[in-house]
Every structure is written in structure tokens, then in C-alpha cells.
Amino acid sequence: MDRTVLLIEDNEKLNVINRRALESAGYHVLTALTLAAAREHLAAHNADVILLDVLLPDGDGADFCGEIREKTDAHILFLTSKREHVDKLKGLATGGDDYITKPFKLDELLLRVAAAMRRRDMEAAKPPVQTMTVGPLTLDSAAIQAFLNGKDIGLSPKEFSVLRLLVQSKGKAISKEALYESAWNQPMNVDDTAIKTAISRLRRKLGSEGFRITSSRGEGYRFE
């Protein structure tokens, strides 16, 4: 299996040394000297592990981690020369998974990357989650039922599919077309009445428990 590591390090010498070590360990390595280059890689590739320097010429690695965390499930390991506890906490608070303090030995770096890859394998091997809970709302995918404060709110299978995709989106807008295709298993034609009706019913059934399904022109619907 091809494993991809994105190495973001502005020191050209260290970048080359770390890349060669990772490639020798069997990883496919993408390298970036700047955050701009890293963004280009992430737009075109899926990384399993991201090795992220904190001090970069065009920005702060911790801030960049917060920027990309919702867009990737990659394990993010900070490469930092900062030794202050507060600096390390900032990196973890923005979505980082671990950090290694410079200077470090290559064998330690490779062990950290290997451990991250094993964790990803373990997560992938787990059976799919059958339930999702957001506050008083629970979605049971096996039973195709939604419960609000423990009470079944009586969703149809299509309404359940629409709500599940909205909840999974974590607040991001989902287009009408994507919601329709997910629930009806076919492309949506020009008539969007069915999806609008499903959204209207969901809003009514969710009631006043603090959940909202909002709409944005040109973007779609968002669960909040």
C-alpha cells in the first residue's frame, strides 16, 4: 500500500535529509518549503501523515494546522524548535496530533511516522460507526432511525439519509444536488421540490431543540 507523507520544512538541507530517510523507509514523500506549496500538494493529493514545521517563511505552522484540520484526517506531527510548553499546546489545540522537538534523530522521526501509520490502519479496520450523537440527537444508521431526547422522531429513509449527510458535514454547506443523490440514489433533475420538502419536514421534526438547517443561496444547506 502506498503511504504518503507531506513534509513541510523550509530548511532545504533538512528537507532533503528527512525526505531521503522517509523514502528509504518506503514512503511516498511530497515536500514543501512553504505553506503555499503545501496547499498545492493538499489540493491534489491525500496525505496520510503531515510533518509540519512551525516557523515557515509565509506563515505559522500552528495556524496552518487549524486551517487544514477540517479538510484532512491526516496525522499531523509538528516539527518544532520551540521548547516552551505554551507553544506545544498551541499546536495541539489547533488540531495537531503530536510534536517532535528539534534537533531530533531520524530514527525517532521514522518511529513516530510508523506509529501514526499503524493508528490509521487500526482506525480503518474498525467496523463502521452505526450511531452518531450530537447533543440530544442520535442517528442510528442500522435501524435508519433518529432519536431526539430518546424519542423516535419518525423519519422516512430518505429524510434520514439527508439528515445523516448534513450531520456528517460538521456545519459545512451541502448542495441540494448532493443531498438528493445521497437519498434518492440518482441525479437530481431541475425540479428540487422533493429535497425542499424533505428539508421542511426535517426542520419541523427537529423542533426547537437548538438545531437548525439553514440555507445559503448557491451553497446549499447546513446543519447547525
CATH number at residue 86: 3.40.50.2300
- Domain boundary (125, 156, 185) is at 125
* 87 burial type by CB count under 10 A (0-12 exposed, 13-18 middle, 19+ buried): middle
Residues 110 and 158 in one domain: no
Bond before 103 cis per omega within 30 degrees: yes
Q: What confidence tier does 29 reach under pLDDT thresholds 50, 70, 90?
A: very high
- Count of structural domains within the chain: 2
Residues 135 and 217 in one domain: yes
Write down the pLDDT at residue 10.
Answer: 95
CA-wise closest residue to 39 among 8, 12, 10: 8
User: At 160, which CATH number?
Assistant: 1.10.10.10
Residues 157 and 186 in one domain: yes
Write down the pLDDT at residue 188.
Answer: 74
- Give the separation between CA 11 and CA 147, rounded to whole angstroms: 53
Mean pLDDT value across residues 105-122 = 89
Residues 101 and 181 in one domain: no
Mean pLDDT value across residues 68-97 = 77
Residues 166 and 215 in one domain: yes
Question: DSSP states of 39-74 as a string?
Answer: HHHHHH---SEEEEESEETTEEHHHHHHHHTTT---
Residues 181 and 100 in one domain: no
Q: What is the pLDDT of residues 41-58, one digit of tens each?
A: 999 999 999 999 988 999
Domain with 48 in it: 4-125
Report helix, strand and coil shares of the chain as percent, to nearest 5. 40, 25, 35
- Domain boundary (81, 99, 125) is at 125
- Domain boundary (73, 91, 125) is at 125
Write down the pLDDT at residue 118.
Answer: 87
